[in-house]
Amino acid sequence: MNTAYRTHRNRMFQHYSVFNSKEEALEHPYPDMNKEEWTRVCDLFASEEFQRRSAINKENRAKLKIVHTSGARSFQRARALLKNPESDEISPALLYKKTHTNKDGMWTSEDARENFLEEARLQIEEMRARQLEYEALLVKRSDMEQTMREHLQMMEEQQRKKDEELMQMMAEQQRKKDEEHRKMMEEQQRTLVEQQERRMQLMAEQMREQLVEQIRQLQSRSTPKRKFG
């Protein structure tokens, strides 16, 4: 990961070096980097410590016996001329190869060839690191989707149980209402029957009394009167 970071930082510095000042570089952030992050990177590149180390590295590189084929053009200018017109980009390794090989494709020196191989190796490591990050992101996304599905299933199950409990409660309430209504109707029916029975008893009693009175009157009329003397 340190190698990948170093390679990425070098590419950002190459992008930064195209511009004449820090202020101008701030107006052209590195691809896929927000302004806040790019500001911090520019602050690093413009710092005295970084400039001091950069100067030392530049001096060390000057001691190497490597000859480029760009002539008087800077690498920034060469990159602008050699980049892919469609993607508007060129990889550092390919740029290095194009600026350190002759027209016949031969390297300008063995050191240049070894540097290219090292740069290519760094690019491969960076690509692998990005691939691992991408795969880890896919796994994380899959885990999140699985968690969301399980959570959704749990919520649906909870809602189903709540709906069942609500239906059971409503059914129980309706059953109690029906039972109360049935008892009320039975009570009313029983009251009506009792009232009807009392009326019948009263009518029977009245009829019996009337019948007794009629019999008494008949008996009174049919009894002969006794004569005295």
Q: Percentage of the chain with pLDDT > 90?
A: 48
**% of the chain beyond a pLDDT of 70:** 78
Category of 133 on φ-ψ map: left (φ > 0), alpha (ψ -120 to 50) or beta: alpha
The amino acid occupying position 218 is L
Q: What is the pTM of this model?
A: 0.33
Average pLDDT (23-30) is: 92
User: What's the mean pLDDT in 189-202?
Assistant: 92
Distance CA 116, CA 148 (A): 47
pLDDT at residue 104 is higher than 90: no
Residue 157: what pLDDT? 94
Query: Between the CA of residue 137 and those of 20, 33, 131, 145, what are the distances in Å?
Result: 38, 19, 10, 12
Rounded average pLDDT over 104-118? 76
Q: Which is nearest to 67 in space by CA: 96, 91, 25? A: 96
Helix (H) or strand (E) holding 136: helix 110-222
- Length of the chain in terms of residues written: 229
Q: How confident is the model at residue 200 (pLDDT cuts 50, 70, 90)?
A: very high
Q: What average pLDDT score do residues 13-36 get?
A: 91
pLDDT at 73: 47
- Predicted pLDDT of residue 89: 67
Reported as a single tens digit per residue, the pLDDT across 33-90 is 999 999 999 999 999 999 898 888 877 766 655 555 554 445 555 556 555 555 556 6
* Residue 63 DSSP symbol: T
CA dihedral 144, 146, 152, 154 (to 10 degrees): -120
Residue 92 structure tokens:
């550092």
Q: pLDDT by residue (tens digit) across 120-142?
A: 788 788 888 889 999 999 999 99
Please state the φ and ψ torsions of residue 55, each to the nearest 5 degrees: -65, -40
- Assess contact for 100 and 114: CB atoms under 8 A: no
Overall average pLDDT of the 148-166 stretch: 93
Question: CA 200, 205, 206, 209: dihedral to nearest 10 degrees?
Answer: 160
